[in-house]
Amino acid sequence: MDKKIRGFQKGNIPWNKNRKCPEISKAKKGNPTWNKGLKGIKTSDKGQISHRKLPRKMVKCKICKKEIITKINENRKVCSRKCQKVYQKTNEYKDLQRKSAYNRKVNPIESSPEKFMSNMLKANNIKYKKGRGIIGNPDFIINNLCVFLDGEYWHNYPKKRKIDNNINNELEEEGYRILRFSVEKEFYKNPTKCLSLIKSRMA
């Protein structure tokens, strides 16, 4: 049988018969309005300032030296996309990106060689700390000594070697001493020799 489509038939009472539309609440005379006495944009209970009400400052573009009006909490350096493309090739921009990468939160999970090294240092009562936030993010910092555990796969590339050399130079300029151990060839083969090297460099 064909199903009939249910629709309104003659004689049926509609569902909304004798029902009135609800009245929209209006302000009555004598009742104070919700925004009486409030000036501008309402801030949150925590006292945060609205972004629209933040004071402005004048900044010069790094490329074309054009003056830009920005908010106080903004770190704007350029005025347009054209200048941004030029600015991204400068050493200043690269240094800022690198520093922000060093200060970024790193995953706290330790690799197996790092766990092995930390257990070895704890067994010999050598105090250390992690080098997060320092140039190159050293695996261990003992007094003024930076210890790196380099894997064979990535650190054998010539580009990576150049980066490692630059990191070593920058750390030496800041007064750090550096020790680099390849995980498979040096650290896992002879960990006691690595430990004796660390002890000799600590002094």
- Rounded-to-integer distance, Cα 46 and Cα 119, Å: 45
pLDDT tens-place string over residues 75-113: 888 888 899 999 999 888 888 887 777 666 656 678 899
pLDDT tens-place string over residues 45-85: 555 555 566 688 888 998 898 888 888 778 888 888 899 99
Q: Looking at residue 183, what is its pLDDT? A: 92
Dig out the tokens for 182 from the structure: 């390849």
> Residue 26 carries which DSSP code?
-
- Rounded-to-integer distance, Cα 140 and Cα 117, Å: 9
Q: Looking at residue 38, what is its pLDDT? A: 63
- Rounded-to-integer distance, Cα 148 and Cα 179, Å: 6
Q: What are the C-alpha distances in Å from 187 to residues 37, 77, 147?
A: 71, 45, 12
Q: Are 61 and 79 in contact (CB under 8 A)?
A: yes
Q: Looking at residue 1, what is its pLDDT? A: 46
Q: What is the DSSP string of 101-152?
A: HHHSPPP-PPPHHHHHHHHHHHHTT---B--TTSTT--SEEETTEEEEEE-T
Domains annotated on the chain, with CATH? 56-103 (no CATH), 112-202 (3.40.960.10)
pLDDT tens-place string over residues 120-145: 999 999 999 888 778 888 999 998 99
Question: Average pLDDT of 9-32?
Answer: 71
Q: Looking at residue 75, what is its pLDDT? A: 83
- Rounded-to-integer distance, Cα 156 and Cα 84, Å: 34
Dig out the tokens for 165 from the structure: 């050399």
- Report the predicted TM-score, pTM, of the whole model to 2 decimal places: 0.52
pLDDT tens-place string over residues 152-186: 888 888 888 998 999 999 999 989 999 999 999 99
State the pLDDT confidence band at 6, using cuts at 50, 70 and 90: low
State the pLDDT confidence band at 202, using cuts at 50, 70 and 90: confident
